[in-house]
Structure 1
Amino acid sequence: MKQTWLAWAMRAFIGSVFVVCLFGPYALSILIGCVGVGCYFFRDEVGSHL
Structure 2
Amino acid sequence: MNASAIALMVVSLLLVWGGLGVSIAMLVARPERTEWPDGETGGDEQNS
Percent identity reads: 3
Counterpart of 1:39? 18
CA distance in 2, matches of 1:32, 1:43: 16
RCO higher in structure (CA 8 A, sep ≥6):
1
TM-score by length of 1: 0.51
Number of residue pairs the alignment of both structures matches: 29
TM-score by length of 2: 0.53
| Greater Cα radius of gyration, structure 1 or 2 | 2
Structure 1 segment 21-36 matched on structure 2, within 5 A: 23-36=2-15
Q: Deviations over 1:9-46 (max 9, x none)?
A: xxxxxxxxxxxxx6321110010000111110000000
Aligned-CA RMSD value: 1.2
Tell me which stretches of 4 or more aligned residues in structure 1 moved more than 2 Å. none
Structure 2 unmatched runs, 5+? 30-48
Higher helix proportion? 1
